[in-house]
Amino acid sequence: MRLLRNICGGCASSADRESRVERGKFITIEGIEGVGKSTNMAKLVAHIEAAGHRVLRTREPGGTPLAEDIRDLLKDRSDEPIPEIAELLLMFAARSLNVNNVILPALEAGTWVVSDRFTDSSRAYQGGGRGIPLETIDRLADWVHGDVWPDLTILLDAPVEIGMERAKSRSTPDRFEQERHDFFQRVRECYLGIASREPTRFVVIDTMQSLDEVKFEVRALADQLLGDV
Ligand code: ATM
């Protein structure tokens, strides 16, 4: 796992070493709207809890009171245009709060963390969708969360028209959901590109399969990580 802070092994007492808890695993779920993130996240969390682990659920942008306020600004404020750089910086401001105040403390206490979106969303939406270079986003990611990257990222994938159709039936569209088909097409392609470049962290699940098949694949991925502890 890449999520290691400096630990002075040589200077810790043997009591310290014995009490050191096994770090939790960090799993993220990604994808465009309408691919079934919430349903599959709930099943994933239940499966990991059933295996005896504490699990903290979070989401981005959001996850802390202040980060949830930033989420509201980003999703629902329409009285002033938000330049793409401001959008990116607000995403990372919220992420900094979530990583430092929620995600890292949980992982260090041995709790597993399952997050609905993380930095791959910034790469896909602000990078693929809005056109900000991925190198800029990755530099920001390095600054904001360093080595804190997920152990596993599940990318739920579906054609854009299917996702948009499913999402449309749910609620009034927010600022992101009002984007057009070609925006989401770029987001989807960017996700698939990142996944193919990082095959050890990413697993892509085709959500055009039956719900049971998707559930089976998600559980199998969790089982691999559970066996890995
Ligand atoms: P949901 O939690 O409903 O997925 O909405 C969060 C929105 O924020 C989502 N919009 N859509 N469609 C994707 C967007 N988002 C980004 O643009 N960049 C990010 O870094 C994150 C975490 C989310």
In a domain, 8, yes or no: no
Angle at 75 between CA 206 and CA 173, to 5 degrees: 65
**183 Cα: distance to centroid of ligand 1 (angstroms):** 13
CATH of the domain at 69: 3.40.50.300
For ligand 1, say whether the CB of 132 is within 6 Å of any of its atoms: no
For ligand 1, say whether the CB of 60 is within 6 Å of any of its atoms: yes
**Number of helices followed by number of strands (H, E) in the chain:** 10, 5
* CA-closest residue to ligand 1 atom 3: 33
pLDDT at 8: 36
Altogether, the residues listed in the chain come to a count of 229
Work out the average pLDDT over 120-136. Answer: 98
For ligand 1, say whether the CB of 179 is within 6 Å of any of its atoms: no
For ligand 1, say whether the CB of 176 is within 6 Å of any of its atoms: yes
Print the domain residue range for 170.
Answer: 22-228
**19 Cα: distance to centroid of ligand 1 (angstroms):** 38
Q: In 3-state terms, what secondary structure has residue 175?
A: coil
Q: What is the pTM of this model?
A: 0.90
What is the Cα–Cα distance from 185 to 11, expressed in whole angstroms?
Answer: 52
Count of structural domains within the chain: 1
Work out the average pLDDT over 54-64. Answer: 98
Q: Where are the beta strands (DSSP E) in 60-217?
A: 112-116, 152-157, 202-206
Contacts of 53 (CB under 8 A, 6+ apart): 24, 111, 112, 226
Confidence of residue 4 (pLDDT cuts 50, 70, 90): very low
pLDDT at 2: 35
Tens digits of residue pLDDT in 60-76: 999 999 999 999 999 98
pLDDT at 1: 32
For ligand 1, say whether the CB of 33 is within 6 Å of any of its atoms: yes
**137 Cα: distance to centroid of ligand 1 (angstroms):** 15
For ligand 1, say whether the CB of 183 is within 6 Å of any of its atoms: no
Q: What DSSP designation does 77 have?
A: -
In a domain, 94, yes or no: yes
In a domain, 16, yes or no: no
**52 Cα: distance to centroid of ligand 1 (angstroms):** 30
Longest Cα–Cα distance of the chain, Å, equals 59
Residue closest to 191 by CA, chosen among 149, 155, 158, 148: 155
* CA-closest residue to ligand 1 atom 15: 121
Residue closest to 46 by CA, chosen among 142, 125, 106, 112: 112
Out of 1-5, 79-83, 130-134, 207-211, least confident range:
1-5
In a domain, 6, yes or no: no
In a domain, 14, yes or no: no
